[in-house]
Chain A
Amino acid sequence: MIAFLVRRIGQALVVMFIISLLSFSIQDNLGDPLRELVGQSVSEAERQKMRDSMGLNDPFITQYWRFLKKAVQGDLGNSYFFKRPALEVILEKLPATLELVIGATLIILILSVPIGVYCAINPRSWFTKVMMGISIVGISIPVFLTAIMLIYVFSIWLGWLPSFGRGETVTVAGWETGFLTTDGLLHLILPSIALSSIMLPLFIRLIRSEMMEVLEQDYIRFAWAKGLHRKRIWFIHALKNTLLPVITVGGVQIGTMIAYTILTETVFQWPGMGFLFLEAVNRVDTPLIIAYLIIVGLIFVITNTVVDLIYGLVNPTVKLARGHT
């Protein structure tokens, strides 16, 4: 277990290093940060002076080395736009994004397991057919379209739910949360549904097909032959084995969901990391872009490690120390 963790951390460091190198090397192709910092009529000489003072005219290696030296001390540079440490700016937006991801994950968990199991047990029922149909449509519609449709139906047409932002938030132990106010929860509903719209159909289908496969296996037949109650067979024996692959895929997908927050947050003006990142790209706020990529890379590494650990707990036949990648 410890050997596994140590090796995982070693791998994570290498991944982080590569991400930093990649994100640092794309910055020349992102455009000129000066353009967003100065007015259009400022002279070229004045611009050059500022580039010099910002160190943008130094060779790549010099700039990267300067960045790396600071980065190992936890300083990823100052955001051009926010004028504060990039890491600080991103961490400040992290709660908003995580709450959105948690909201979407809850929706997925609460809906996908029962629906998936139902569809596996009753493959011929009309409900199953409707669900399978909807899930195909759900996978095919892009998140931003779902989001805009939700806004039009629930905010403009019906007027039930707010159309943008996080609403009222309270700060608990340094964590700015919208979970504790009615207004905050109301604001969370539409973005969470929009974000879950991609993953939910995927999970329903995944659980359904895994479960159907499990139900065909010999040990289930033995269980039927033994005369066990059907609920026990479905929900204890079959479901447990169904969830193994679901956890693996789920862990990776939660990471992917962070990527989808970029679209969801932009449409809903949700003040999280994803929206911040898109804005940073538009403004060529290089330090912020790099910091975001590193943080998201870190989240991916962490979720994957945690998934591996959970996998070991659920399935004792997996030996972590020997590894399986």
Chain B
Amino acid sequence: MKKTLKLVAMALLGFSLGTGAFAKTLRLAYDADPVSLDPHEQLSGGTIQMSHMVFDPLVRWTQDMQFAPRLAESWERLDKNTVRFNLRKGVKFHSGNELTSADVAWTFERLKGSPDFKGLFQPFKELKVIDDHTFDLVTTEPYPLVLHMATYVFPMDSKFYTGTDDKGNPKDLLKKHADTFASANASGTGPYIVTQRQQGVRVDFQRFADYWDEDSPGNVEQIVMTPIKEAPTRVAALLSGDVDFIAPVPPTDLDRIRGNDKVNLVTMSGTRIITFQLNQERRPEFKDQRVRQAVVHAVNNVGIVEKIMKGFATPAAQQSPKGYAGHVESLVPRYDLEKAKALMKEAGLEKGFSVTMMAPNNRYVNDAKIAQAVSSMLSQINIKVDLKTMPKAQYWPKFDERAADIMMIGWHADTEDSANFTEFLTMCPNTETGYGQYNSGNYCNKEVDALVLSTQGETDEAKRAASLQQIEQLLYDDAAFVPLHWQDLAWAARKGVHIDKIVNVMNFPYLGDLVID
């Protein structure tokens, strides 16, 4: 009750402040609304988008992939295993409590206990509180990605989440598919407070009157978020003026939105790589590097991007997108049918062979169409493909079983770092360490493994980048997988809503800084 009153009071305060130029409402339509208000329940884009609205991270990415200070004002590396952070002073949570190092330590412990996030925080030993506004992040080994991980630390209000709720459960209980306190109530330091939430229907946000970032240009007082699942309906809602901002924009509608003078389209080359993996254990032919090269040379991924993706993707020849430490500029797509045929002949397989292929049909943009295109491209080098596509819910169990000779997988590096791709997709599969968990091709190269492991403790950025680039080169030369493209990102808003300043390749729009004319 007290909380409701407080919210009403805050809403009223916001309202009185919000007269004149400040009272702007944003009607926002994403394809889904946040699964939970608990930032640690699920590691997904949706959760982190929500976290950037209701909470604030220690540091965050800028549009050009640099680190910007948020709740952490500054930081310095003390020694190989320690980075010291200085916390911003005078920051208030939505509850009115003040942010201190104790809250950050509390949040850090909770992250280490979250099934989804604990893997990312594995390298960390502890968070040592020095005083109210200073703390150290200590890793067990030298760790290069401390700041990358700090983008995942969204301090929670430890006092607010302490105690028991009306069901007798602790308020900080972290449990999926359970009605926990933290999944329905939130107190962060972020620009917005959730005032009303009807899951799957709409979420209402109100700007936090005591938001610490007074330099933020953001002037949106209220946000009404409606999930619109169907892409054509989402576009129609924007074009008819029922909403102001939509994401994602389907590739089929890009031209229409571009041609409409009432709305703006913003696109960016994304970071999610789409690949096919060639299973060497099911298909001994794929053990031969020449056959793998033939497959890669037979797949016209530039053509796929032009024809199927309507130019709405960036053709790839490696895992790391531009801007990542491991990106190698010289690696370019290598479609060459004649060479592919020659390679098959060299391997003694010019007559070809038959394979099975599986791909999801509702996970990646145009996934099923891409798979069809690739299977017909492979028929040109006499590899006959028996293709099966299925909804993602059925696809993932099949993927875990390694149920086909060629399988599609897309990957986005949660760490926004090159090593993550290799750790999950191309390192030798090892159930004990968990490396190669998504390597359905069973590609295994000891040299690559050794290089990845060496980068994990390398804090010298230049040296580390050199190793990561060497890995990409090795995978390229070895045709370890069939690279297709990085999916582009697109957002659209009506004119006057300046989304171009707040969107980024991570797809976490910083709505707190959004300006509406």
Interface residues of A in 23-56 (CB under 8 A from B): 29-32, 35-44, 46, 49-50, 54
Binding stretch for chain A, among B231-239, B278-286, B443-451: B231-239
Task: Name the residue of chain B whose CB is nearest to the CB of A36.
Answer: B393
- Main secondary structure on chain B at its contact with chain A? loop
Measuring CB to CB, which residues of chain B are less than 8 angstroms from any residue of chain A? Answer: 35-36, 42-44, 115-116, 118-120, 176-180, 183, 198-201, 226-230, 232-233, 236-237, 239-242, 362, 391-397, 400, 411, 414, 424, 431, 434, 437-438
Q: How many A-B residue pairs have CB under 8 A?
A: 133
Which of A29, A79, A163 meets B394, CB within 8 Å? Answer: A29
Known: A269-B229, A271-B200. A163 touches B115 (CB 8 A): no
Q: State the CA gap A273–B514 with chains docked (Å).
A: 35
What class of interface size applies to chain A in its complex with B? 35 or more
Known: A266-B229, A266-B230. A42 touches B119 (CB 8 A): yes
Assess the A284–B393 pair: CB atoms within 8 A. Answer: yes
Which of A46, A84, A155 meets B236, CB within 8 Å? Answer: A155
Find chain A residues with CB under 8 A from B119 CB. 41-43
Known: A39-B116, A266-B229. A276 touches B200 (CB 8 A): yes
Assess the A38–B176 pair: CB atoms within 8 A. Answer: yes
Task: Name the residue of chain A whose CB is nearest to the CB of B431.
Answer: A44
Assess the B236–A81 pair: CB atoms within 8 A. Answer: no
Find chain A residues with CB under 8 A from B200 CB. 82, 271, 276, 279
Find chain A residues with CB under 8 A from B201 CB. 271
Which of B242, B396, B411 meets A32, CB within 8 Å? Answer: B396
Find chain B residues with CB under 8 A from A148 CB. 232-233, 236
- Additional pairs, 5, CB under 8 Å, beyond known A42-B115, A267-B232, A271-B198: A80-B177, A81-B35, A267-B230, A281-B393, A282-B391
Task: Name the residue of chain A whose CB is nearest to the CB of B410.
Answer: A40
Assess the A155–B362 pair: CB atoms within 8 A. Answer: no
Which of A39, A44, A155, A266 meets B242, CB within 8 Å? Answer: A155
Measuring CB to CB, which residues of chain A are less than 8 angstroms from any residue of chain B? Answer: 29-32, 35-44, 46, 49-50, 54, 78-84, 148, 151-152, 155-156, 159, 162-165, 266-269, 271, 275-276, 279, 281-284
Assess the A35–B115 pair: CB atoms within 8 A. Answer: no
Task: Name the residue of chain B whose CB is nearest to the CB of A158.
Answer: B240
Q: State the CA gap A7–B492 with chains docked (Å).
A: 58
Assess the A41–B394 pair: CB atoms within 8 A. Answer: no
Task: Name the residue of chain A whose CB is nearest to the CB of B120.
Answer: A41
Assess the B43–A41 pair: CB atoms within 8 A. Answer: yes
Task: Name the residue of chain B whose CB is nearest to the CB of A46.
Answer: B115
Task: Name the residue of chain B whose CB is nearest to the CB of A78.
Answer: B177
Assess the A32–B393 pair: CB atoms within 8 A. Answer: yes
Assess the A162–B242 pair: CB atoms within 8 A. Answer: yes
Assess the A164–B176 pair: CB atoms within 8 A. Answer: no
| Chain B: minimal CB distance from A290 (Å) | 15
Known: A84-B179, A162-B242, A276-B200. A32 touches B233 (CB 8 A): no
Q: State the CA gap A41–B198 with chains docked (Å).
A: 29
Pairs across A and B, CB under 8 Å, 7 listed: A31-B394, A31-B395, A41-B414, A50-B115, A82-B199, A269-B227, A279-B200
